[in-house]
Structure 1
Amino acid sequence: MRILKIIFWSVWRIWFYILLGVPILIMFPFLFISILKESWYPYFFRMARIWAKVILYGMGFYYTLTKLQQPEKNKSYMFVANHTSMMDIMLMLCVVKNPFVFVGKMELVKIPLFGFFYKRTCILVDRNSSKSRFDVFERAQKRLSQGLSICIFPEGGVPDDQTIILDAFKDGAFRLALEHQIPIVPLVFYDNKKRFSYRFFSGSPGIMRAKILPFVTTEGFTLDNRKAIRDTTRMAIYKELLEEQYEPVAKANKLTT
């Protein structure tokens, strides 16, 4: 049985990289045209959402979205979520309709085809370079001034320890949101770690649930409040993940009493 699982996981993971590249090849002329001007980014974003859905459905995933608050059209937001899987990018693109720009790590540029467009459309950060971190703020400010939103995974990466429910948040997303007085939109991805973690021999097709939590306002607050805003956002996501983790135990205890 273990051998069959290893064969499945190997084929499945290879299939993921095929799905990653084939839609880009098919849409390449249109994608390339859409990145020639920054003002055309919303067209690129629409195609990126199609690409994300092809990958999700092609991998055997389907998603559900619960909204406790609805983002408005033509308004800028700071979207943040817990980060546990490569599928977080795809799921974020699927569930958020407001055109946004990712702030992401430099290493993903190395992925063939994907890296070509990733480099030209996302805001890249080298976390070991203070200059790079400063450049991120400049580029993000420019994108926000164009009416776009920003998406950051504030943990700064996927924790190596798989037992960590939610790692500490870095300040960048909250500083940007405060400087521009835009609402912070916390999202919770419940199943991505279980469905498609960074461990090669793991995962399975199935549901990927997402929830948009009530927005965290920044209006009237200053940079002096960034730690409080950051901790409020993190706690909202953490509570959801913690309740999800212990809900099956609570149900089992209720059945036995």
Structure 2
Amino acid sequence: MKILRVIHTSYGLLVFAILFLLLFPFLLIPIVFPKHFKLVGILNRWWARLLLFFVFIPFHVEYRRKLDKKKQYIFCANHFSYMDIPTAGLNHHNTVFVGKNEIEKIPLFGYMYSRLHITVDRSKLKSRYTSLKRSLEAIEEGKSLAIFPEGGIVTEKEPVMGRFKDGAFRVAIDKQIAIVPVTIPYNWIILPADQFLLRWHPLKVIFHEPIETTGLTLDDVDALKDKVFRTIDEELKRHIATRYTPTNIVNNEYRSRTAG
């Protein structure tokens, strides 16, 4: 029933706000002392886990290969839902986000986001250039990045991805660091972009094997972009084609949440 979804969504927004206010004093630490940027990923992880726990969404985090905690990566995920942002925060690797500048308009939250993450106005060439420059600087500072290469929620028919922008792949090649494709198969069901009403469904996120960029040049951007796109797209299609009922997912795939 729609009224139950409205109640669930309103409750979820309240939980999101309360958790943010509780964590905000700790988020000030990396804002004031940038060298402690790894706290951003740690706090994002706890925020995401607590949010999903309190809104009763079971989740499962799957890694196709164990990532080297000492290495940097660029994580590229499909983007069909606003739920993708906390989902990306479940990453065991500490990351900063590259996201749309509209987030800066949210009171207090926008202040935090603009100082700890990288924002971009894709309608302005200067902003795109600045975000690319800041992304390169972030890599030089030892950070890993989480990017939605579609440039926002652009699809008109979930779960069909939009075309990828070049930015993430240019940064990865320029800095010769690996890209990790990330598939988020069910969030378009949990929080549809065109309704913004929660629907109960288990959440899953798959971190694929890293795709190395060693030896690649900017001439390889399109090939790299296509490889990442196909990796995510094939996984999406596989999940949709073999989709379990919610009951079976809970009983089999989501019995234990991934720790760490």
**Secondary structure of 1:61's aligned partner:** coil
1:16 shift after superposition: 2.1
Distance 1:23 1:131, change over 3 A: same
Distance 1:43 1:85, change over 3 A: same
Q: Which residue is 1:98 aligned to?
A: 93
Matched, 1:141 2:136: yes
Matched, 1:43 2:39: yes
User: What is the 5 A alignment of 1:172-191?
Assistant: 172-191=167-186
TM-score by length of 2: 0.88
User: What is the 5 A alignment of 1:65-84?
Assistant: 65-84=61-80
In the TM superposition, structure 1's runs of 4+ consecutive aligned residues that sit over 6 Å from their partners are: none
Of the candidates 145, 156, 166, which is equivalent to residue 161 of structure 2?
Answer: 166
Contact conserved, 2:96 with 2:145, CA < 8 A, in 1?
yes
- Superimposed CA distance per residue, residues 35-63 of structure 1 (whole angstroms, 9 cap, x where no aligned partner): 11221111232122211112111221121
1:223 shift after superposition: 0.3
Of the candidates 111, 115, 133, which is equivalent to residue 116 of structure 1?
Answer: 111
Q: Percent identity among equivalent residues?
A: 32
Q: Which residue is 1:12 aligned to?
A: 8
- Superimposed CA distance per residue, residues 52-103 of structure 1 (whole angstroms, 9 cap, x where no aligned partner): 1121112211211222112111211010011011111111111x22221100
The amino acid that maps onto 2:54 is: G
**Secondary structure of 2:89's aligned partner:** helix
- Superimposed CA distance per residue, residues 143-198 of structure 1 (whole angstroms, 9 cap, x where no aligned partner): 11121101110011112513451111111110000000000000111111111122
CA distance in 2, matches of 1:154, 1:9: 30
Of the candidates 45, 52, 57, which is equivalent to residue 56 of structure 1?
Answer: 52
CA distance in 2, matches of 1:154, 1:74: 24
- Superimposed CA distance per residue, residues 216-252 of structure 1 (whole angstroms, 9 cap, x where no aligned partner): 1111110000000000110111111112222359xxx
Contact conserved, 1:75 with 1:148, CA < 8 A, in 2?
no
Matched, 1:87 2:83: yes
CA distance in 2, matches of 1:150, 1:193: 23
Of the candidates 118, 121, 126, which is equivalent to residue 126 of structure 1?
Answer: 121
Contact conserved, 1:87 with 1:192, CA < 8 A, in 2?
yes
Distance 1:163 1:148, change over 3 A: closer
Distance 1:24 1:164, change over 3 A: closer
Contact conserved, 1:67 with 1:211, CA < 8 A, in 2?
yes
Contact conserved, 2:80 with 2:155, CA < 8 A, in 1?
no
Q: Which residue is 1:246 aligned to?
A: 241
Where do 5+ consecutive residues of structure 2 fail to align? 245-260
- Give the number of aligned pairs: 244
The amino acid that maps onto 2:210 is: F
Which has more radius of gyration? 1
1:201 shift after superposition: 6.1
**Secondary structure of 2:163's aligned partner:** coil
Q: Which residue is 2:147 aligned to?
A: 152
User: What is the 5 A alignment of 1:200-211?
Assistant: 200=195, 202-211=197-206
Could you say what the CA RMSD is over the residues aligned between the two structures, in angstroms?
A: 1.7
CA distance in 2, matches of 1:48, 1:115: 15
**Secondary structure of 1:127's aligned partner:** coil
Contact conserved, 2:74 with 2:146, CA < 8 A, in 1?
yes
TM-score by length of 1: 0.89
Where do 5+ consecutive residues of structure 1 fail to align? 250-257
1:200 shift after superposition: 2.9
**Structure 1 stretch displaced more, 67-76 or 181-190:** 67-76
**Structure 1 stretch displaced more, 8-17 or 229-238:** 8-17
The amino acid that maps onto 2:21 is: L
1:33 shift after superposition: 2.6
